[in-house]
C-alpha cells in the first residue's frame, strides 16, 4: 500500500515534483504560502493542508522543498510546524538545499518526537523536476531511506544514499561548486572565442565531444547562444547555495578560492538586477567586461 505523502513548498521545483507524485498514484496533501500552486495541484487531485502541522498530521511521509535553512526551520520546527502534527514513525524528507548543520539540528529535534529525517537535496533544475529525472543525494539512516526510495525514484533518475544526516547537503554543496565553476569556465572560454572572431556555436560543437564536454555545457550553452536567461535555476538561489558553501568551508577550515571568485561574480550580477535570471547569465559578467556578446 502506498504511503500518504505531505508536500510543503510548491515553487519552481516543488510544484512539478509534487505533480509527478500525483501522476504516480500517491495520495498527496499539499501546502504553500502561495494559493495559486495549491489550487493547481488540488485541481489535479491533491488535498490542501491548512498548515505544515495539518499536512504532517495527515501524512506518513512529509516532504519539504523550501528556499533555505531559515524557512525549513520555521516550517518544520515553528508554530503550527510539522513537528507539532507529525506522528511517531513518520519520515520527514527535506529536499531543500540548506546548510548541513541545519539539517542535523532539525533532525535532532524531530528525533525527540520519534520521527526520522532525511536530507535529500536535488540537482537538475526545473526541466528535470518536470520530467522526473532529478539527481537526488540523500543523507540519513538507511532504514528510512529504504522506506521512501520508491517515492524518491518517482521524482529522480538517480537516487543515492551518501551517508548520515547532513551528508546529502554536503554533496549538494559540492555539486553547486562544480556547476558554478563550470558555467564560469564556459563563459570565459566562449567570450574569448567570440572576441577572437570565432563562431561560438562552432566552438561549442567542436569541443562538446571531447574532455571539455559536460552536462553543464549541454544544458547552458544553448541558452547562452540564444540569449535566453529565463530561469531554470535562478542566480539568487545559486548565491544562496554558495553562501552555505562558504560558511561550511570556513567552519571546516577548507580554502575555496575559486568558488569565492564565482560568488563575487554572481553578487555583481545580482547588483545589476539579474538575480532572478538563470545562472547561465554568469556569461553576461564576462560579456560586459569584454564588450562582446556570445550569440548565434
DSSP 55-73: HHHT-SEEEE--SSHHHHH
CA distance 76 to 78: 6
Q: How confident is the model at residue 261 (pLDDT cuts 50, 70, 90)?
A: very high
Which of 53, 128, 172, 220 does the annotation list as catalytic? 172
What does the mean pLDDT of the chain come to? 97
CA distance 214 to 204: 11
CA distance 74 to 52: 10
Does the model's pTM come out above 0.85?
Answer: yes
CATH code of 170-290, in short, is 1.10.1040.10
Q: How far is CA 202 from the centre of its chain?
A: 31
Q: Where are the domains of the chain?
A: 5-165, 170-290
CA dihedral of 122, 125, 130, 135, whole degrees rounded to 10 = -30
Annotated catalytic, 2?
no
Cell of 253: 577550515
User: For residue 133, what are the CA distances in angstroms to 68, 158, 262?
Assistant: 22, 7, 27
CA-based nearest residue to 248, from 74, 94, 103: 103
The whole-number average pLDDT for the span 30-54 is: 98
Q: Which residues pair with 28 in a beta bridge?
A: 5
Q: How confident is the model at residue 1 (pLDDT cuts 50, 70, 90)?
A: confident
Residues above pLDDT 70, as percent of the chain: 100
Q: How confident is the model at residue 232 (pLDDT cuts 50, 70, 90)?
A: confident
CA distance 249 to 262: 15
User: For residue 97, what are the CA distances in angstroms to 22, 103, 135, 292?
Assistant: 23, 10, 13, 34
Whether 125 shows a pLDDT value over 90: the answer reads: no
HSE of 147, CA atoms in CB hemisphere, 13 A: 19
Q: Fold match between 5-165 and 170-290?
A: no
pLDDT digits (tens, 9 = 90+) for 129-142: 999 999 999 999 99
On whether the 5-165 domain is CATH 3.40.50.720, my answer is yes
Amino acid at each position: 500500500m502506498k504511503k500518504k505523502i505531505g508536500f510543503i513548498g510548491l515553487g519552481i521545483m516543488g510544484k512539478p515534483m509534487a505533480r509527478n507524485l500525483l501522476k504516480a498514484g500517491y495520495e498527496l496533501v499539499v501546502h504553500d504560502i502561495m494559493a495559486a500552486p495549491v489550487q493547481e495541484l488540488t485541481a489535479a487531485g491533491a488535498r490542501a493542508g491548512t498548515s505544515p502541522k495539518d499536512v504532517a498530521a495527515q501524512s506518513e511521509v512529509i516532504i519539504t522543498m523550501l528556499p533555505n535553512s531559515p524557512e525549513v526551520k520555521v516550517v518544520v520546527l515553528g508554530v503550527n510546524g510539522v513537528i507539532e502534527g507529525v506522528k511517531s514513525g513518520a519520515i520527514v524528507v527535506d529536499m531543500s538545499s540548506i546548510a548541513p548543520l541545519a539539517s542535523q539540528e532539525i533532525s535532532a529535534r524531530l528525533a525527540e518526537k520519534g520521527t526520522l529525517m532525511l536530507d535529500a537535496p536535488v540537482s537538475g533544475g526545473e526541466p528535470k523536476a518536470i520530467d522526473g529525472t532529478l539527481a537526488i543525494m540523500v543523507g540519513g539512516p538507511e532504514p528510512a531511506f529504504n522506506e521512501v526510495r520508491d517515492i524518491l525514484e518517482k521524482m529522480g533518475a538517480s537516487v543515492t544514499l551518501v551517508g548520515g544526516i547532513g551528508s546529502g547537503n554536503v554533496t549538494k554543496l559540492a555539486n553547486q561548486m562544480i556547476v558554478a565553476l563550470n558555467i564560469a569556465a564556459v563563459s570565459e572560454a566562449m567570450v574569448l572565442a567570440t572576441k577572437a572572431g570565432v563562431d561560438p556555436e562552432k566552438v561549442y560543437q567542436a569541443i562538446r565531444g571531447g574532455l571539455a564536454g559536460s552536462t553543464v555545457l549541454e544544458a547552458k550553452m544553448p541558452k547562452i547562444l540564444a540569449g535566453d536567461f529565463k530561469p531554470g535555476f535562478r542566480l539568487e538561489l545559486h548565491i544562496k547555495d554558495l553562501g552555505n558553501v562558504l560558511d561550511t568551508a570556513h567552519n571546516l577550515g577548507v580554502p575555496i578560492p575559486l568558488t569565492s571568485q564565482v560568488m563575487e561574480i554572481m553578487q555583481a550580477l545580482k547588483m545589476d538586477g539579474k538575480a532572478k535570471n538563470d545562472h547561465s547569465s554568469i556569461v553576461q559578467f564576462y560579456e560586459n567586461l569584454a564588450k562582446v556578446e556570445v550569440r548565434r
